[in-house]
Amino acid sequence: MNLLDIADVKQKWCEDSTSLLLDDSNPIACLRPSSGLRNLSPDQLEKIDIVLDKLGGKGLQRLTQFQNYSIDSYEERQEAILSPCSLEGFYRFLKTMNFPKESSLFLTDAGFLELCWEDSSGQAIQVEFTSKGVESYVENTGQEDFVPYSNIEEIAKKLFPLS
């Protein structure tokens, strides 16, 4: 789905204010009319497009769920509030990297996004977007690493050495 298709789906959804079915064919269903969908900047639209391309509609739904957590809901659900630094680092990582679409997205207790997937041998790869940079863990080698956001391209070389 390209950016123009996404914009068409968003516009239709905003106009009739009805909920679309939630699946990868209708990825914008997880966004609410109250989220100001009509006022998204080109940068915000690009970020939505990147998340859809890399993680699909379910990944976008999960990310939107984390973005909608508020201070009031924290006490009820014991869910952390998403760190803006983590979110921006996550977007930068998505622009830079190619990884399996079968990835899982989590919100840590500290409010950081964590992306997990399996390598070709079924071993876990975990990437956490902290306030300072990207922490990674590769189960196959037991290697843990940290790369500041200023050097985010290095994580590609470390996680995908043959790329």
> What is the number of other CB atoms lying within 10 angstroms of the CB of residue 47?
20
Asked if 65 and 47 touch (Cβ cutoff 8 Å), the reply is no
41: CB partners within 8 A, 6+ apart: none
Q: What is the pLDDT of residues 51-70, one digit of tens each?
A: 988 888 888 999 988 888 76
Q: Would you state the structure tokens that stand for residue 161, as one six-digit string? A: 């050495």
Q: Where are the domains of the chain?
A: 1-68, 80-163
Predicted TM-score (pTM) of this structure: 0.71
Helix (H, G, I), strand (E, B) or coil at 127: strand
Q: What is the percent of the chain with per-residue pLDDT over 70, rounded to a whole number?
A: 65
Q: Which residues of 100-126 are buried (b: 16+ CB within 10 A; e: fewer)?
A: eeebebebeeebbbbbbeebeeeeebb
User: Which of the given ranges, 22-36, 98-112, 116-130, has the highest pLDDT on average?
Assistant: 116-130
CA distance 110 to 118: 23
